[in-house]
Structure 1
Amino acid sequence: MDNFFWNKFILNQTSQDYFLKIKHRLLDDHKNGYAIFPDPKDFFRAFEVCPYEKTKIVILGQDPYHTKGIADGLAFSSKNIDIIPPSLRNIFKEIKDDVGVNNNTSNLTKWSEQGVLLLNTSLSVCEGMPNSHSNIGWENFTDLALRKLSKQHDIVYMLWGAHARSKKSLIGNSGLILESSHPSPFSAHRGFLGSRQFSKANLYLSKLKKTPIDWQLA
């Protein structure tokens, strides 16, 4: 699958001054004995699996899971298929209630392969330290990526929680923006559950003559 756009974008950004600061921070944390997730080879996995031209939906997360063996480079996804993190469990509950699909695997790669960009705004984290890399420069990178995506004008953006919704200005009037509370157990009942965003997204794609997303993972 051609991924020229994101490959060029990543190559360009990784040579910028702000990104050199990210690299230095990652090296310092590693030298100081901190485990960093996901594996560095998976930092850009969201872009590798979902090419720019194929993107239909963007689901925005905050930072990777900070528990060993879970983060796989895709927001909300888990490489340990036997562990379904709490937020993902609520996502699955809403999908079942909305479109009648029952999922029991936490590997979300199939969604990405269909055009769902599962993007965290920070692409790394230290073990046991949520948001530990939220201010090291990653958001410069992911904000620019969102601005690039906004030029397509026909993408669905799912913005869950205050952090994701704060990125709305980067998107402007591009595409369809679906907002709600975060699917975390602390806030899912405040608007995420019952929002029917998954069927709304597919209806929008269908109107554009695009193939809807099959939310069934297995």
Structure 2
Amino acid sequence: MDPVPASDSLDSDALFELEPAVTHAVGFAELARLPLLELVAADWAEALAPVEGNLRDVLAFLGREAAEGHEVLPSPSNVLRAFRQPLAGVRVLIVGQDPYPTPGHAVGLSFAVDGATRPIPRSLANIYKELEADLGLPPRIHGDLSRWADQGVLLLNRVLSVRAGAAGSHRNKGWEAVTTAAIRAVANRFAADGSRKPLVAILWGKDAEAVRPLLGPTPLITSAHPSPLSASRGFFGSRPFSHANSLLQEQGDGTVDWELPPLP
């Protein structure tokens, strides 16, 4: 059984081409007062409207955390970054837990870090090892996963913020209601002919597998978490990237090019 992880990476050491909807000059308290359409992509604004109150409450909580002198990660401009990827374009969902608690690492996409971060977190290094074993793609020294996001890979943490140095510190503060609505929205998109839009969900570890009931008939790829604590117990050898491409092809949606550029 996988251990209960403290962050999406379980690393103690420890993108997307659109311009940020908000700037670093805007704080969390200000985010809580902005129109939803200024925070997320238009189709996400519609999907998240039922939980807008929850979202504003948790952003206000982050404002209070910052006002009390706590460093909140990621930055205000990145905290909703996953939702700047249009909902309509999502093809693969990869569920993380909560952001890396090391300052400078979290960028608003699960498992990703800033392209300048060295060394990359160990969970991400293990993901790269499996990517090489699965598809023969070379590991990278950087952790910028925006090329995946550009192709419709939604890198979504269950909890979208954390207090610096305190993994898991923003669990049960309201994010779960928001990301539950987001996952349901991704899984319940229909084409004009009434068929479900293509989607594959990759769930690494017990925390991620807990969202299984939200995904309906979505094809799932599940394994142990890539953390050094559990990667050898089922993550290595699981071949999630080739399996995801096969499942996308079965749904008539081509493949994801999982190769990342040598440098961000």
Question: Normalising TM by the smaller chain, what interval?
Answer: over 0.9
Q: How does 1:69-80 map to 2 (within 5 A)?
A: 69-79=104-114, 80=116
Amino acid across the alignment from 1:116: V
Identity of aligned residues (%): 38
* TM-score, normalising length: structure 1: 0.92
Aligned with residue 171 of structure 1, among 193, 215, 226: 215
**Partner Cα separation in structure 2 for residue 155 and residue 131 of structure 1:** 28
Give the aligned length. 214
Q: How does 1:156-167 map to 2 (within 5 A)?
A: 156-167=200-211
- Asked whether 1:51 is paired with 2:94, we answer no
Task: Assess if the C-alpha contact under 8 Å between 1:57 and 1:156 holds in 2.
Answer: yes
**Partner Cα separation in structure 2 for residue 11 and residue 70 of structure 1:** 29
* TM-score, normalising length: structure 2: 0.77
Segments of 5+ residues of structure 1 without an aligned counterpart are none
CA drift of 1:53 comes to 1.1
Task: Assess if the C-alpha contact under 8 Å between 2:135 and 2:241 holds in 1.
Answer: yes
**Residue 86 of structure 1 corresponds to which residue in structure 2?**
122
CA drift of 1:11 comes to 5.7
- The C-alpha deviation readout for 1:30-68, integer Å capped at 9, x for no partner, is 1221100100111111121x3111111000000011101
Task: Assess if the C-alpha contact under 8 Å between 2:104 and 2:117 holds in 1.
Answer: no
Task: Assess if the C-alpha contact under 8 Å between 1:64 and 1:73 holds in 2.
Answer: yes
- Asked whether 1:9 is paired with 2:47, we answer yes
- The C-alpha deviation readout for 1:148-177, integer Å capped at 9, x for no partner, is 11113431101111110011011122x211
CA drift of 1:214 comes to 0.8
Which runs of 4 or more aligned residues in structure 1 lie more than 4 Å from their structure 2 counterparts after TM superposition?
none
1:33–1:120 distance in 2 versus 1, CA, 3 Å? same
Amino acid across the alignment from 1:114: Q
Task: Assess if the C-alpha contact under 8 Å between 1:81 and 1:107 holds in 2.
Answer: no
Aligned with residue 149 of structure 1, among 173, 186, 189: 186
**Partner Cα separation in structure 1 for residue 112 and residue 59 of structure 2:** 24
**Partner Cα separation in structure 1 for residue 216 and residue 49 of structure 2:** 26
**Residue 61 of structure 1 corresponds to which residue in structure 2?**
96
Amino acid across the alignment from 1:108: L
- Asked whether 1:193 is paired with 2:233, we answer no
Aligned with residue 168 of structure 2, among 131, 139, 146: 131
**Partner Cα separation in structure 2 for residue 9 and residue 170 of structure 1:** 15
Task: Assess if the C-alpha contact under 8 Å between 2:225 and 2:231 holds in 1.
Answer: yes
CA drift of 1:194 comes to 0.4
Task: Assess if the C-alpha contact under 8 Å between 1:83 and 1:106 holds in 2.
Answer: no
The more displaced of 152-161 and 117-126 is 152-161
1:140–1:217 distance in 2 versus 1, CA, 3 Å? same
